[in-house]
Structure formats: C-alpha cells, structure tokens
Structure 1
Amino acid sequence: MKKLIFGLMGLFLALAVQAQHETLFSNARLSGAFGGPIVEMGIGDARDMTTAVGGGGGLVFRNFFLGAYGVGSIDYDRLIEEEDIEEIELGHGGIWLGYTLAPHRVLHLYTSARLGWGGIGIDVTDNSPFPDDTDNVFVVTPEVGVELNVTKWFRVAGTVGYRFIDGVETGRGYRADDFSGTLANLTFRFGWFGWHRG
C-alpha cells in the first residue's frame, strides 16, 4: 500500500512539475536591463513649460521594456501671479512601458508611455522647507520618436510626446491645462539590450 501511495505521489509530482500555466509573460525572455536620465522640454503652445529632469530604468524583453521612472520640475514662474508664492513644483513617478521596432538597427522607432502619480507643490515666502499647498495628481506621458544606438551599451532617444495631468485642485485658480502640454523628450539609456534581431 505504501508503495502505491508513494508511486501515485511521485506520478502526481512529476505531472505537476511538467504542467506549465500559460501566462502573459510566459514567452517573454529577458534580454537586458538599462537605466539613465530623462529630459522633458515644452514645445509649441507649451514652450513656457519648465524643463523637467529625472531618470528611470527597466528590464528589456526583446522589443519591449518595462520599468519605473521619476521626473521633477521646479519654478513655473509663468504661473505665479500672487506675490506670496515663491515657487511651484511638479514631481511624479511610476510605471514606464516602451517598445522599439528593429532595435538592432542604428536608428529605429522608439515609443514609450509613462504612467505616474505625484504632486504639485506651491511654496509661499515663509521660509518653510516643505510646500504649503500640495495636490495629488495623475500623469500620463505618451511619446514617439527615434532612438540612436551610439554604442552597444548606450542609446539616445529623441521623441515628441504629451503630458496629461489630472487632479489639479490647488484652490489658487490653477488648472490641469497649466501643467499639461506637448513635450520634446531626450532619453539616455545605459545598459545591456541583448543581441537579438526583431
């Protein structure tokens, strides 16, 4: 009886090990990882938007990447109308998704979307190190452009995107449109991107 029980347990264990559930990432093969700085500059109607800087990193799965980012910008001087306001800041971070078409080519299509959460802080002239008025905001920044393979471990992407902001309720008359707009982006990626063609 013991032999039968152990035999059935062994058979069940072997079948359990062989059976694999199909999942969203079951066929995704990790081919690299990267990190680097991000620079955003307002263009067109948004040319007065403050330049934002930050950084991010991620894991590369063939043509796709998945990672995280953080970006901040300070001194929205064009929005300051009240004399007691010293500075307006925007900071956000979250998930970073991207896709590159034919990444083995020297110049190729690059797209990404950053989905994040953060805050708009308004500092008044009271010498406090913390913002006096803060709004929690949701930020989505899709972009499309081209990426240049400078070396095997360094890539530069130049893109055009749009920053969508939701949740601005400062009580000082500012709107989401004041912080949303068209952007020119520079992304520097340092890391390992794999040797595949795709």
Structure 2
Amino acid sequence: MKRTTLTLTLIIFIAMLGIAQEQEPKKNREIKTMLGGNSKARGFGALELKTTEIKDDIVLMPGVTGGMILNNHFVLGMGFYGIANEVDFVGVQPVTKQFLYGGYGGLVLGAIIAPREIVHIYVPVLLGAGGAYITENDYRNDNGRYINEFDESSAFAVIEPGIEIELNITKFFKIGMGASYRYVTNSSLVNMTDDDLSGYSGSFSLKFGNF
C-alpha cells in the first residue's frame, strides 16, 4: 500500500511538471537555461508547521524551507523539519514507555502551476535523510540518576511528495496549506519500524520572497 501511494504521488508530480510547462505562452516556449538571458531566478524563504501521526501520537513538526524559483514555475531549494512536542509510546524492548526525538531534511524540487493567479497549486518533493532517537527512563534513584535507562538511534532515508494550495497575499508574501506523504526507509530501530515513521502530514506555511 505504501509503495503504491508513493508511486501514484510521483506520477502526479511528473504530470504537474508537464502542466506547469504548458502554462507558459507559446511565444515563450523557446529553450531556456538556468544561467541564460531569458531565465528568471527569484529567492524565497518559508516557515512551515506540519502535523502528522506517529505511533498513535499527534506530532508537531515545525520547519524552514528556502531556495530559488526558476522561470516562475520551478523550485529548487532545501527544507528541514524537527519534532517539537513530546512523543511517547510503549516500546518493544524493553516493554516500557519510550520517548521519540528526531527530524529530517534535504533537497526540495517543486513545480508551481499558474503562479500569477491569486490561488494556485504547488507540488513539492523532498529527497533527503533524517535521524530518530528513542530513549526510555524508568525512574530516578535517591541521587536523581535514571535507572533502567535504554537508548537507541538511527539514521534513515526519506522521500516526501506533497501538494499545496497557495494564496498570494502580496507580491512578497503568500500562505500555503497542503498535504504530503512521508516515506521513510532504511532505519534500524528496535522499537519503531519504517512504517511507524512514515505517514501523511498536513501543513500550513508562511512564505516570503520576490514572487
């Protein structure tokens, strides 16, 4: 199911790239290069808040993104997100309450459809890596030290395609609301699987730049 969802999302992303290209007037369809005279590159930065679910716990993941908008339609940037609230769950080894910390980030590629319209579509894909840290503390002794402490950590790869609705407020500010699917692989945790770390997210963003 997870692989099917990822495949369908990537197909939609490729289709959106084609639609974005078709939005250009025919007279502007000559070949353009990133550094050519006809190219337009603008910078932007964004503050974003994602909500997701991990091990039946609601997780808040604030983040920052930034980069370049090329020829009004294509985004090349970076994005980073981290867990902000306490995430606790019952682990497998040992069978006690565990606490999860971590985050992820990487390269962001995107396509903007009809960017000059007040309301338009943005289709991003994040390709990167992250890390998760799990700890367990049973209780403290008379000296304030934890007893039966357990820790584990792991790096992992992540692919996160998504789709957003953006609203132009001014030429330099817009807001976005969207959804994405976080596909995590190659983690090596005992108390949490790749499927546990993967999942859907909802997002809200404030974007600033020369749009």
Q: Does the alignment reach a TM-score above 0.5? A: yes
Counterparts in 2 of 1:123-142, with a 5 A limit? 123-125=135-137, 132-142=151-161
Residue of structure 1 equivalent to 2:121: 109
Residue of structure 2 equivalent to 1:178: 196
Residue of structure 2 equivalent to 1:40: 50
Counterparts in 2 of 1:1-198, with a 5 A limit? 25=34, 29-42=39-52, 48-61=57-70, 62-73=72-83, 74-78=85-89, 80=91, 82-83=95-96, 85=98, 87-125=99-137, 132-172=151-191, 174-193=192-211
How many Å apart are 1:122 and its aligned residue? 1.1
- Give RMSD over aligned pairs: 2.7
**For the structure 1 residues 49 and 142, does the alpha-carbon distance in structure 2 shift closer, same or farther, using more than 3 Å as the test?**
farther
How many Å apart are 1:183 and its aligned residue? 1.3
For 2:101, the aligned partner's letter is E
State the distance in 1 between where 2:66 and 2:201 align: 20
Query: Residue 144 of structure 1 contacts residue 160 of structure 1 at CA under 8 Å; is this kept in 2?
Result: yes
Identical columns (%):
26
Which 4+ runs in 1 deviate beyond 4 A?
none
How many Å apart are 1:26 and its aligned residue? 5.1
How many Å apart are 1:41 and its aligned residue? 1.2
Q: TM-score, normalised by structure 1?
A: 0.73
1:140-169 CA-partner distances (Å, limit 9, x unpaired): 111113100011111111112111000121
**For the structure 1 residues 132 and 47, does the alpha-carbon distance in structure 2 shift closer, same or farther, using more than 3 Å as the test?**
closer
How many Å apart are 1:48 and its aligned residue? 3.5
Query: Residue 30 of structure 1 contacts residue 59 of structure 1 at CA under 8 Å; is this kept in 2?
Result: no
**For the structure 1 residues 143 and 105, does the alpha-carbon distance in structure 2 shift closer, same or farther, using more than 3 Å as the test?**
same
Alignment length (residue pairs):
166
For 2:112, the aligned partner's letter is T
How many Å apart are 1:191 and its aligned residue? 0.8
1:63-83 CA-partner distances (Å, limit 9, x unpaired): 111011110115322455643
For 1:77, the aligned partner's letter is D
**For the structure 1 residues 144 and 84, does the alpha-carbon distance in structure 2 shift closer, same or farther, using more than 3 Å as the test?**
closer
